[in-house]
Amino acid sequence: QDVTHGYMTNHELEKAMKKITYRCANISRMY
């Protein structure tokens, strides 16, 4: 049932999300 299974593990997804949100926060702080 899990579509993302085999494509990206939950842990990797979480890490990617944290990286993206962190980067977005930095960008919004600069402007």
Percent of the chain with pLDDT over 70: 68
pLDDT at 18: 94
Place 7 in a pLDDT band, splitting at 50, 70 and 90: low
Q: Print the domain residue range for 27.
A: 1-31
pLDDT at 30 over 60: yes
* Average pLDDT of the residues in 13-18: 90
Q: How many domains does the chain have?
A: 1
Mean pLDDT over all residues of the chain?
78
Q: Which residues contact 8 (CB under 8 A, 6 or more apart)?
A: 16
19: confidence class by pLDDT, cuts 50, 70, 90: very high
Query: Considering only CA atoms, which of 1, 21, 4 is closest in space to residue 12?
Result: 4
